[in-house]
């Protein structure tokens, strides 16, 4: 191994370490849900209290169901209902979105395991 | 370049590519715990082609391997093919940069292990980018990234070590340029 080889290996190890620190986390239960309509965060709710939330989106109202520390879409004015089929979300970092209605939810809190940004 | 030189290069490429394709097909038969992780021993052939000959020869070998390998395994134009092609393209780009580096800084030149690790990380990175952007744009996939990259680093080191051993046992190449 030459000096340059060693530098590459050390840099690669650092990169892998950083990736582990950033993205590798056990699935921890989330503490709260963040609701977005378009780019704006319209509300945050803790997951420990059950409730139903209406979120006004571009096409209409999406309905979210928060229960037992989980959240799911139960109604949305879209065609494919991808958001509803996403089902229950419970772990920090998970997300679901109704793209036609521009409404999305992401779970936050817990210990960490949170994304800085998620691109759809 | 005379016709004779071209023929020699062509023969080299054909020989290396045949070897790489055989390894590619054999590896495809092995089960893998996580999709996307495999030793990538076929890349050792690419690396040897680069270090003994040129980037051009290496690029031909890798391209032929991805194309013919996918035809033989039956993944041609399927997702696995695109992932493989993206990985090979990224790895070749990384090897190209490595070769340029070596041309500029002969005293701090990269050898087989460094180039192999670079190529392996680039291969996995390119593959992951296409997988994440095109096939499964789900944030959960990001959780796999550290594991995939760690595997790439490990297999890059192993591949580099194998390539170094083979290179040390081969008679000196004529016309090596890296």
Q: Which two tokens stand for residue B72?
A: 């033989």
ipTM of this model? Answer: 0.81
**What is the distance between the alpha carbons of residues B62 and B91, in angstroms, rounded to a whole number?**
9
The CATH code that applies to domain B3-169 is 1.10.1760.20
Reported as a single tens digit per residue, the pLDDT across B76-87 is 998 888 988 999
Per residue in B52-62, pLDDT (tens digit) is 999 999 999 99
Please count the structural domains in chain A. 1
Q: Is the pLDDT of residue A112 over 50?
A: no
The answer to whether residue A114 is domain-embedded is no
For residue B32, the distance in angstroms to the closest alpha carbon of chain A comes to: 20
- Asked if the structure places residue A13 within a domain, the reply is no
Name the pLDDT band for B9 (thresholds 50, 70, 90): confident
> Residue B176 pLDDT more than 60?
no
Determine the number of helices (DSSP H) and then strands (DSSP E) in chain B.
6, 0
The partner residues of A98 in beta bridges, in order of sequence, read A103
**For chain B, what is the mean pLDDT?**
87
| Residue among B153, B170, B142 at smallest CA distance from B40 | B153
Cβ-proximal residues to B51 (8 Å cutoff; 6+ apart), any chain: B111, B112, B115, B163, B167, B176, B178
Q: Which of A108, A23, A101, A33 is nearest to A67 (CA)?
A: A33
Query: What does the pLDDT average to over A1-17?
Result: 92
Q: Say how many CB pairs under 8 Å bridge A and B.
A: 70
A79 in contact with B, Cβ within 8 Å: no
Does position B173 have pLDDT exceeding 90, yes or no?
Answer: no
Residue A43 has pLDDT above 80, yes or no: yes
Domain boundaries defined on chain B: 3-169
Residue labelled with tokens 């040897």: B48
Q: Is B162 helix (H, G, I), strand (E, B) or coil?
A: helix
Q: Does the residue A10 lie in any domain?
A: no
Dihedral, B11, B13, B19, B22 alpha carbons, nearest 10? -110
Answer yes or no: is A22 within a domain: no
Specify if A18 maps to a domain.
no
As a whole number, mean pLDDT of residues B122-128 equals: 93
In a domain, A67, yes or no: yes
Q: Which residues contact A23 (CB under 8 A, 6 or more apart)?
A: B142, B143, B145, B146
Binding-face residues of A in 31-70 toward B, CB within 8 A: none
Contact B146 A16 (CB under 8 A): yes
Could you tell me if residue A15 is inside a domain? no
CATH number at residue A63: 2.60.320.10
What is the domain extent for residue A94? Answer: 32-108
Whether residue B6 is predicted with pLDDT greater than 80 in this model: the reply is no
pLDDT at B52: 92
Query: Residue B72: which pLDDT band, with cuts at 50, 70 and 90?
Result: very high
């Amino acid at each position: 191994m030459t000096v340059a080889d060693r530098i590459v290996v050390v840099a690669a190890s650092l990169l892998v370490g950083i990736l582990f620190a950033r993205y590798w986390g056990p699935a921890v239960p989330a503490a709260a849900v963040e609701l977005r309509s378009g780019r704006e965060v319209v509300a945050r709710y803790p997951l420990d209290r059950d409730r139903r939330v209406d979120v006004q989106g571009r096409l209409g109202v999406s309905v979210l169901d928060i229960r037992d520390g989980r959240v799911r879409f139960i109604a949305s004015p879209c065609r494919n209902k991808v958001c509803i089929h996403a089902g229950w979300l419970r772990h920090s970092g998970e997300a679901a979105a109704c793209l036609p209605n521009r409404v999305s939810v992401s779970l936050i809190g817990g210990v960490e395991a949170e994304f800085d940004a998620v691109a759809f | 370049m005379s016709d004779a030189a071209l023929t020699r290069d062509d023969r080299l490429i054909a020989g290396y590519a045949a070897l790489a394709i055989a390894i590619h097909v054999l590896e495809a038969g092995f089960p893998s715990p996580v999709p996307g992780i495999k030793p990538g021993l076929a890349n050792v052939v690419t690396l040897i082609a680069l270090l003994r000959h040129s980037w051009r020869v290496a690029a031909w070998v890798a391209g032929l391997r991805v194309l013919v390998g996918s035809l033989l395994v039956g993944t041609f134009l399927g997702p696995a093919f695109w992932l493989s092609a993206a990985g090979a393209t990224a790895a070749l780009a990384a090897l190209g940069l490595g070769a340029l580096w070596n041309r500029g800084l002969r005293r701090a030149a990269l050898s087989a292990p460094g180039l192999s690790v670079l190529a392996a990380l680039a291969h996995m990175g390119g593959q992951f980018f296409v997988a994440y952007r095109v096939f499964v744009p789900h944030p959960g996939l990001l959780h796999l990234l550290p594991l995939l990259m760690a595997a790439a680093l490990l297999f890059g080191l192993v591949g580099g070590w194998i390539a170094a051993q083979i290179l040390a046992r081969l008679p000196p190449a004529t016309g090596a340029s890296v």
